[in-house]
Every structure is written in structure tokens, then in C-alpha cells.
């Protein structure tokens, strides 16, 4: 039996608007989707601010894309990334994208890519505009992602906000439940993700099971089939 083909993922980096510290965990997340065969970082590489990016391009297989500042106040990087993304879309050889930026200018691009059924993960700061976050299939706070991947990391015990509890509760109600009211945790997570750009790593947890277990609004149990099931208590 032949092995299934891995999906082809493209990572496009707005180096002017992204931290080089996040590249390793970002690539690890994208590996969940497939092979990140296209890795391009855009910016004016003559700028001292991009020196750190320049030192890691070979290590992570990034292809630098030079964009000169031809006009003051105009961002040629955004335009170049958008053109390349659309070219890749119409070539039909990419199954998903990672956009590493916090710039709301990429919101129309993300929306267009998703209209063609492509998965788009956004990676940036917590302060990125909400429109860009929600346009993405997933939007992941890079600073939180870096923290959760550190060796010896201990998750924050901060309370989960009511909006997130409601999101998970709504996803639980929409999922298939047994006679005792339990639904598969995996299905709940998928429904929550489809309804928003929710990603558990933005809340200081590595796994959805850890977040649910830490909250007394839900009950979590592992069944004989090896899968986790959850139920909302209140």
C-alpha cells in the first residue's frame, strides 16, 4: 500500500514585520499540515534591522527575496508577498500557506486564498488586528508559541476567558454526543477551529486536553478506545 502524499505548504515571511526567533516553532507547526517546501523571506536585506534574519536563512532553508524601498511610506514587501502568493495559488501546486506577519494588509490575501479552499495559518503578535486573525484558518501568537516550545516550559495557570469557554461550549453542543453527554475532544477542537481562528497555543497550553482539564466548566475522560471525550458541566 502506497503512503499518502504529503501536502505542499508555502511559508511566506514578512521579515520587516516578524521576529526571527519564531522561525523554528513556526516550521514545526506547519509540519503538522505537510512539507514546507517553499520558504521565502521578504524585505530590504540592506537594512541593519534584518541582520538577524540574514544570519539564519541558510540554517532554515529560507530564500531571501530582496525588496528595495523605492518610495518612502510604501511597503514593497507586502506587494511582493501578495503577488507571489497569488502566483502560487494559480500554479495549483500549493495546498496551504503560512503567513508570518502581523500586518492587516494581508487580510484580503488570506481571504482570497481561503476562498479556494486552502488552509492559511497566520503567525504574528498578539496585537495583530482582529480582522487579520479571524481571516486565517488559525492565527498563532508567535511569542506564546515560542514559550510553549521551550524545554521545561510550565503553562500559565491564568483563567480562561468567558468567550473561549463559550466557543468550546458551542462546539461541544454541535458535536456528536453520547447518552451521557460526552463528545470526542478531537471533534470539538475541529468545530471550534472552523468557527474561529482558535488555537490552544495562544492561551499558554500545548494541547486542547490540557486547557480543558484545567477548567472546572468541563469534564474530560479517556475511554477504552484510547480517545479523549469531553462534556460541559455548567
What confidence tens digit (pLDDT) does each residue in 145-158 have?
888 777 555 555 45
Per-position DSSP letters for 53-122, written without gaps between them? HHHHTTTTT-EEEE----STT--HHHHHHHHHHHHHHHHT--SEEEEE---GGGHHHHHHHHHTT-EEEE
In angstroms, the CA 214 to CA 217 distance is 9
In angstroms, the CA 44 to CA 66 distance is 5
* Closest among 59, 62, 73, 58 to 15, alpha carbons compared: 62
The reported pLDDT for the residue numbered 56 is: 92
Residue at a domain's end among 117, 148, 179: 148
Q: Are residues 49 and 140 in the same domain?
A: yes
In angstroms, the CA 28 to CA 60 distance is 12
Confidence of residue 3 (pLDDT cuts 50, 70, 90): very low
State percent of the chain over pLDDT 90.
Answer: 42
What confidence tens digit (pLDDT) does each residue in 95-145 have?
999 999 999 999 999 999 999 999 999 999 989 999 999 999 989 999 888
Q: Are residues 112 and 78 in the same domain?
A: yes
Q: Tell me, what CATH number does 224's domain have?
A: 3.30.420.610
Residue 133 lies in a domain: yes
What confidence tens digit (pLDDT) does each residue in 86-99 have?
999 999 989 999 99
User: Which ranges constitute the DSSP H helices of 120-227?
Assistant: 130-135, 142-148, 162-174, 185-195, 208-213
pTM summary value: 0.75
Q: Are residues 35 and 143 in the same domain?
A: yes
What's the average model confidence in pLDDT over 7-25? 92
Residue 222 lies in a domain: yes
Least confident of 68-82, 102-116, 206-220: 68-82
Residue 81 lies in a domain: yes
Q: What angle do CA 217, 220, 222 make, to 5 degrees?
A: 175
Task: Give me the count of residues in the chain.
Answer: 234
- With contact defined as beta carbons under 8 Å apart, do 65 and 10 qualify? no
Amino acid at each position: 500500500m502506497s503512503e499518502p502524499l504529503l501536502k505542499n505548504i508555502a511559508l511566506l515571511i514578512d521579515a520587516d514585520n516578524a521576529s526571527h526567533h519564531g522561525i523554528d516553532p513556526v516550521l514545526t507547526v506547519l509540519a503538522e499540515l505537510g512539507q514546507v517546501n517553499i520558504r521565502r523571506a521578504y524585505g530590504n536585506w540592506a537594512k541593519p534591522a534584518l541582520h538577524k534574519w540574514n544570519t539564519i536563512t541558510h540554517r532554515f532553508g529560507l530564500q531571501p527575496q530582496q525588496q528595495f524601498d523605492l518610495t518612502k511610506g510604501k511597503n514593497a514587501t507586502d506587494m511582493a508577498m501578495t503577488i507571489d502568493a497569488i502566483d502560487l495559488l494559480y500554479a495549483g501546486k500549493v495546498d496551504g500557506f503560512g503567513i508570518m506577519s502581523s500586518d492587516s494588509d494581508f487580510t484580503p490575501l488570506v481571504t482570497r486564498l481561503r476562498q479556494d479552499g486552502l488552509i492559511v495559518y497566520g503567525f504574528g503578535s498578539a496585537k495583530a488586528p482582529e480582522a487579520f486573525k479571524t481571516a486565517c484558518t488559525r492565527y498563532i501568537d508567535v511569542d506564546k508559541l515560542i514559550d510553549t516550545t521551550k524545554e521545561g516550559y510550565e503553562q500559565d495557570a491564568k483563567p480562561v476567558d468567558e468567550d473561549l469557554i463559550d466557543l468550546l461550549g458551542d462546539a461541544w453542543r454541535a458535536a456528536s454526543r453520547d447518552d451521557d453527554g460526552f463528545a470526542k475532544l478531537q471533534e470539538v477542537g475541529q468545530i471550534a477551529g472552523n468557527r474561529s481562528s482558535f488555537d490552544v497555543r495562544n492561551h499558554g497550553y500545548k494541547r486542547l486536553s490540557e486547557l480543558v482539564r484545567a477548567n472546572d466548566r468541563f469534564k474530560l475522560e479517556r475511554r477504552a478506545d484510547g480517545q479523549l471525550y469531553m462534556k460541559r458541566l455548567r
